[in-house]
A and B are shown apart, each in its own frame.
Chain A
Amino acid sequence: MIPAAFEYFRPHSIDEAFAYLQQYGGDARVLAGGQSLIPAMRFRLARPGVLVDINAVRDVNYVRANGKVLAIGAIARDSDIEHAPWIGERRWSLIHDVSRVVADPVVRQMGTPVGSLCHNDPAGDWTATALAARAEIVVRGKPGPRTVAIDDFLIDSFATAVGEGEMALEVRFPTPDDRTAGSYQKIERKVGDFATAAAAVQVSLNGDNTIRSAGVALSAAGPCAVRVEEAEHLLAGKKPSAELIRAAADAASRRSSPQADLRGSIEYKKNLAGVLVARGLRQALTRLGVQA
């Protein structure tokens, strides 16, 4: 399984990387973690004429959690998040959960959240997480960097708002307040498999324990990860209860539009979407000390 030949560049700055991408356009691919790109190249499903290796661009190697945002640079690894000193904080529980189930523990030491978002596999984990957490991606384009909301960033399977000659620089998660918790629920046949179904949930409570807002998103439920708007609207402003959770779960089942494949039938996966949203909501609420 040897890739087709390519030209290789290793820039040391964002500007240098961008210049290569602009020069080679659609024939160039960014190499960050490479954990999705290189396997595709080994099967010659991807045959870029040029690889721009950004692993030496120190300017995008950061994980910054300040009061307002969690900013993850383009070459920060999944494992950097998995082992971050703040990852045990309740407000980050959605990110905590997902950072433990992406691919496998070795792949996570090279793979990157930004890369995963740009790859946009229908069953990717970071995409559903970004939707539920209402993240934004900073994209470097010709006129300069721009910020793209996650809902606008994910366009179709393996297609995002990053155009030819452009590159993503960072993903930003708004820092949740201390009445927020989340949960990532993933069913996979084994570690390393893509999700059979997955749900990302983030819930913020009001002072009286009613739900102020909720983010609910599904992976492996269509060409891209999807936000379950119906569930989010259902939950907003309500007091948590078993019926409310069931209603949100049913909305998720309805919204889920999976393909039948070796992992399961459409019916099974739609069922799982509901089950996982329910479990995610219950876990998030439990983390917030609320029984439903």
Chain B
Amino acid sequence: MKVNVKVNGISYEREVEPRTLLAYFLRESCGLTGTHVGCDTSNCGCCVVVMDGDRAVKSCTMFAAQADGHEILTVEGLAGGGQLHPLQQGFWDQHGLQCGYCTPGMLLTSYALLKHNPNPNEAEIREGLAGNLCRCTGYQNIVKAVQQAAETLRQPVAAK
């Protein structure tokens, strides 16, 4: 079957089997390998992308067919105009990543989290990230990264 998914602002029309998971559609049909697969049971969150602007979804637990006609934001779409997204900057500044495998999922879950709650405290961040696993960092610096990003995003945007 044919699906048409807008990923990071670009339309991808591809032929897929109905059983093609969104994660593999993004990775193999769209060539966007930043979204990762880390488990079989929807626990790890390495596959998280954002659908229709503010819904974090586990792309391994969704069929590409379901995304037909929808918009998907992956990690490759976060930076814009040659600038890193404040979340990406936060993860870098605060040493919120080591092997990098969970990082795209963490970034996208945080992205959706901050859309709903622009000023989360530490407990809210930890709760909000509890669908994403990390084996390297122990989460502490990830929390700091999100806090930094939240603060940056709350600043009024400088007049251009």
Contacts and interface: CB of A to CB of B under 8 A. Distances in A.
Task: Say whether A associates with B.
Answer: yes
Interface of A: 1-8, 10, 31, 34-35, 38-39, 41-43, 51, 53, 55, 79, 83, 100, 103-107, 109-110, 191-192
Given A8-B65, A31-B66, A192-B130, A39 B42 contact: yes
Interface residues of B, number: 32
A10 to B, nearest CB: 7
Interface stretch (B7-15, B50-58, B79-87, B140-148): B50-58
B28 interface: no
B127 A107 contact: no
Nearest to B68: A10
A107 B18 contact: no
Contacts of A103: 131
Contacts of A3: 19
The main secondary structure of chain A at its interface with chain B is loop
A41 B21 CA distance: 11
B27 interface: no
Given A10-B65, A38-B61, A105 B128 contact: yes
A105 B41 CA distance: 15
Given A51-B63, A106-B57, A191-B130, 20 more contacts: A6-B18, A6-B19, A8-B18, A38-B42, A39-B41, A42-B21, A42-B40, A43-B40, A53-B63, A55-B66, A104-B45, A104-B131, A105-B129, A105-B130, A106-B109, A107-B61, A109-B55, A109-B56, A192-B130, A192-B131
Contacts of A191: 130-131
**Residue of A4, A35, A51, A104 most packed against chain B (CB within 10 A):** A104
Contact of B66 (A43, A53, A104, A192): A53
B57 A8 contact: no
6 tightest A-B contacts by CB? A104-B131, A106-B131, A8-B18, A191-B130, A1-B40, A3-B19
B132 interface: yes
B66 A2 contact: no
5 contacts: A7-B18, A34-B63, A42-B40, A105-B109, A110-B57
A38 B23 CA distance: 13
Contacts of B62: 34, 38, 110
Contacts of A83: 116
A107 B58 contact: yes
Contacts of B48: 106
Interface string B64-93: 011010000000000000000000000000
A51 B18 CA distance: 9
Nearest to B20: A2
B66 A105 contact: no
B159 interface: no
A53 B65 contact: yes
Contacts of A6: 18-19
Contacts of B55: 79, 109-110
A1 B37 CA distance: 11
Contacts of B128: 105
Interface string B1-45: 100000000000000011101000000000000000000111101
Nearest to A191: B130
A267 B17 CA distance: 48
Nearest to A35: B61
Contacts of A2: 19, 21
A38 B17 contact: no
A105 B127 contact: yes
A233 to B, nearest CB: 37
Contacts of A109: 55-57, 112
B63 A104 contact: no
A4 B68 CA distance: 20
